[in-house]
Amino acid sequence: MEPISTPQFLYKIMSLRYWHASQSRNNVTLSAEDDAFIHFSTEDQLEKTIAKFWSQIPQYVILKIETGKLAGKWAFETNPGGTTQYYHLYNGFIPMKSIAEAKIVYREPVDSCAALKLDIVQLGDPVLRQKARELTSEEILSPEIQTLIQDMVATMRAAPGVGLAAPQIGKPVQVVVIEDMDHSLLTAEQLIERDRQKISLHVIINPRMDIEETEAVEFFEGCLSVPQFTGLVPRAKSVRVECFNERAEPITIRAKGWYARILQHEIDHLNGILYIDRARLATLMTIENYVKLWKSKSRNEILASLALKKENPHSCHGE
């Protein structure tokens, strides 16, 4: 890829949800749309970009970025299937310090963004290493736990994340909320690779998990309680979970692929286990270095580059 010159400033449009998630971090939180490369617009392209991609979005943010503060490889090219050329940044990220201006646009009232959000407990807090206690049916139906569930949902969505366990907001009880619905920015190939389907919002309480298919599958994972790091984690392909829902009704969940991974990750939280305990330590890295050095490589290429053997297929166990 030949070096190219870029304007002093380019523009990045992102959702208000992801902008809020970026506030406590060193770099802008990007969506899966920017997995292969980060999309930018020139000032002249802003109006067209907004009309095409953001006209139906109630709230979004326009970032004015100082390009001299970005690392990575630039390309000026068309999007797949398009005719207009845009600036794309490969193997890079957007440091918060590169933002010259951030403008929040509200097309609709922001009431939906005003839900109560709780602070997420970070690595080092002892609550993350406790075994969370089970709840009685009476406790599940109590106003306190029902309110806790609603607050957890708001916190998960604002983070943003696809799952949140009660210990992550400082409550050592066996409650988890899960939602994985927004796949609009993932390619068909990414969905197939991850065996990922949409999972509507639901609550699991007092879960008991059994591993149904012990062969381990490795993918990079992160955690809202261990920000700015990622690593390869082996997880079982499929699991069976017996638990209660928010109405204190017993339910059974059979999950495979990415849903099984989410369940294993969140149930680990209830047992005082973090993903870094299960990660391949040789693959643990900052998200910045993952984007800069490894993002374009396949899982097998990463293992080969780091001289790692494939994980023992029987290394996954239920808790």
266 lies in some domain = yes
Q: Which two tokens stand for residue 220?
A: 């990079």
H helical segments located in the chain? 16-22, 46-49, 137-140, 143-158, 188-194, 257-270, 275-278, 287-289, 299-305
Same domain, 103 and 131: no
pLDDT tens string 161-220: 999 999 999 999 999 999 998 877 667 887 888 888 999 899 999 999 999 988 889 988
Same domain, 92 and 135: no
pLDDT tens string 21-36: 787 688 998 887 888 8
231 lies in some domain = yes
85 lies in some domain = yes
Mean of pLDDT over the chain: 86
316 lies in some domain = no
Query: Which of 83, 111, 139 lies at the terminal end of a domain, its last residue?
Result: 111
Query: Which of 64, 96, 111 lies at the terminal end of a domain, its last residue?
Result: 111
Domain that holds residue 208: 117-305
pLDDT at residue 113, rounded to an integer:
44
Residue closest to 17 by CA, chosen among 139, 110, 85: 110
Same domain, 71 and 151: no
Helix (H) and strand (E) counts in the chain: 9, 12
Where residue 309 falls among pLDDT bands split at 50, 70, 90?
low
Rounded average pLDDT over 267-291: 92
Determine what percent of the chain falls in helix, strand and coil, rounding each to the nearest 5. Answer: 30, 35, 35
pLDDT tens string 84-126: 899 999 999 999 999 998 887 876 544 444 446 788 999 999 9
Coil, helix or strand at residue 146: helix
Same domain, 75 and 29: yes
Where residue 55 falls among pLDDT bands split at 50, 70, 90?
confident
So which residues are the catalytic ones? Answer: 266
pLDDT at 54 over 70: yes
- Cα–Cα distance between 283 and 239 in angstroms, integer? 25
312 lies in some domain = no
Number of domains comprising the chain: 2
pTM: 0.66
Same domain, 68 and 162: no
Q: Which two tokens stand for residue 152?
A: 């957890």
280 lies in some domain = yes
Residue closest to 196 by CA, chosen among 239, 264, 259, 254: 259
- Cα–Cα distance between 258 and 247 in angstroms, integer? 26
- Residues belonging to the chain: 319
55 or 87: which leads in pLDDT: 87
DSSP 219-287: EEEEETTEEEEEEEEEEEEEEEEEEE-TTS-EEEEEEEHHHHHHHHHHHHHHTT--HHHHS-GGG-EEH
Query: Which of 68, 89, 111 lies at the terminal end of a domain, its last residue?
Result: 111
pLDDT at 2 over 80: no
174 lies in some domain = yes
- In a 10 Å sphere around its CB, with 0-12 CB exposed, 13-18 middle and 19+ buried, how is residue 167 labelled? buried
